[in-house]
Chains A and B, each alone.
Chain A
Amino acid sequence: MEPESPASSQQSLDWQQAVSGDCAATREIIEAACVKWEADLKTFLAGVLKDRHLAEDAFQKTVVRAIETSQSGRQDTLRGWLFQVALNEARQIRREIRRETVQRQKLIDQGAGVQALDASGRSNDLMWMVDTVLVNDDLVVAIRRSLAKLPADQREVVRRRIYEGQGFAEIAAEMKLPLGTVLTWMRRALMRLREDSGLRELWVN
């Protein structure tokens, strides 16, 4: 959870007052918040949609929707509410893609010369992470240091799953390990990385 700094606390108060008050002031607060948290919102959306371009689209729609619906904000914090709006926009985009996919498939089945779209967006290909600009150099350096501290086997599982895009079953087969062991190593490795002091500092900052 993002630590509550004095600035954030003040922003929460402003937000709660704005929701029940002046529209112009609310709009200003929301616009400022979207600028401030643009990277976080886009990263979150990329995690939901698994696609950088869709995340960009969803962010633009989030800003518009947030301004339109500002008076109905329910979350205690502005940040929490913006993430809620973003998630709703992401789910809407995914529904539209699925609807279009179904319609195209019907046309294909009827023999029309229509090309199929990609699947619903729930892909196992994690290369979108590499292609995106979701991380800065400092974070990558810190992660490299943290990865080096991991036991070699855990590091290999993490590398295969996230970078190579192999499934856990495939990793287990190739490394000649039980599936449960591979899953446990992955979970422990991610936990160690999350709790690494060098990375924690970056999360907070």
Chain B
Amino acid sequence: MASELQTSETTGTAADERAWRAAQYVLGELSESDADAFELAMLDDAELCELVLNATRLQAGIAVACRELSAETAPAVVKLSVVDTTPGFIAVRSQVSHVAVSLAGLGLAGILLTFATGSGERSSGELAVVNAETVDALADLISESETTELLALQDVETDVDPALSEVATPEWLLMAIELEDGSGQPQLNEELDVY
């Protein structure tokens, strides 16, 4: 009985050792010479190939599972599309686009003040985590007409989460823009050559 147990343990240990070796091989943990030796062993050992197959499948599954878990536990964000730009670059937009960006910025401040959190989903194009302090800071910046600073942070496209786009911009925000420049026309900021 003892010898049977010992054999079983030895067999189990040997099988585990092979499986661990296969896992190390897939992880890229083996040295070049060891990996080469392992591959030569696989050429004559169908079971070793199966262990590599299972190790690959398991590790790929773990990677995907971890990615899903990471996305689910991410902090609440407001989904916006972000276009990567060179730091400091300010997009020169057409008159119409600039007004749209200003409206979007003001609308964003209003919406953020209204809603506590956004969607829990993540996408690869997220901007940043938004909290109450950030909202207040944004509102201050916009109310002082320092839109150039806002634009300098990122080149923000006007595409927003469909859920957010369903929210109408409050009338008072639109009126605030008109009252600010007095004429109701967007004004050119000569320093930065943007409106």
- A positions within 8 Å CB-CB of B: 1-2, 40, 43-44, 46-48, 50, 75-77, 79-80, 83-84, 87-88, 91, 122-124, 126-127, 129-130, 132, 134-135, 139-140, 142-144, 147, 158-159, 161-163, 168, 187, 190-191, 193-194, 199, 203
**Residue ID in chain B nearest A158 by CB atoms:** B62
B39, B54, B57, most chain A CB atoms within 10 A: B57
Which residue of the partner chain B has the closest CB to A44? B53
11 more CB-based (< 8 A) A-B contacts, given A134-B57, A140-B68, A163-B66: A79-B46, A83-B49, A84-B46, A87-B42, A123-B28, A126-B59, A130-B60, A135-B60, A162-B59, A168-B29, A203-B54
Contact with A along B73-115 (1 / 0, CB 8 A): 0000000000000000000000000000000000000000000
Interface magnitude class on chain B: 35 or more
List, in ascending order, chain B residues with CB within 8 A of A147's CB: 62, 65-66, 69
Chain A residues with Cβ under 8 A from B61's Cβ?
Answer: 134-135, 139-140, 142-143
Do the beta carbons of B28 and A124 come within 8 Å of each other? yes
Q: CA–CA, A159 to B63, complex, Å?
A: 8
Which one of A2, A50, A77, A162 lies within 8 Å of B63 (CB-CB)? A162
Selected interface stretch from B15-23, B144-152, B158-166, B168-176 = B15-23
Q: Interface residues, chain B, CB within 8 Å of chain A?
A: 16, 19-20, 23, 25-29, 32, 35, 39, 42-43, 46-47, 49-50, 52-70
In Å, the complex CA distance between A142 and B46 comes to 26
Instruction: Report if A194-B68 is in contact (Cβ < 8 Å); known contacts: A50-B28, A87-B43, A91-B39.
Output: no
Residue pair A194, B58 in contact (C-beta under 8 Å)? yes
Task: Provide the residues of chain B in CB contact with A47, threshold 8 Å.
Answer: 25-26, 52-53, 55-56
Q: What residues of A have a CB within 8 angstroms of the CB of B64 in the complex?
A: 129-130, 135, 140, 143
With A79-B46, A163-B70, A193-B58 known as contacts, the answer to whether A48 contacts B52 (CB < 8 A) is yes
Give the chain B neighbours of A134 by CB distance below 8 A. 56-57, 60-61
Query: Do the beta carbons of A162 and B50 come within 8 Å of each other?
Result: no
Q: In the docked arrangement, what's the CA distance between A123 and B29, Å? A: 10
Distance in angstroms between the alpha carbons of A199 and B65 in the assembled complex: 14
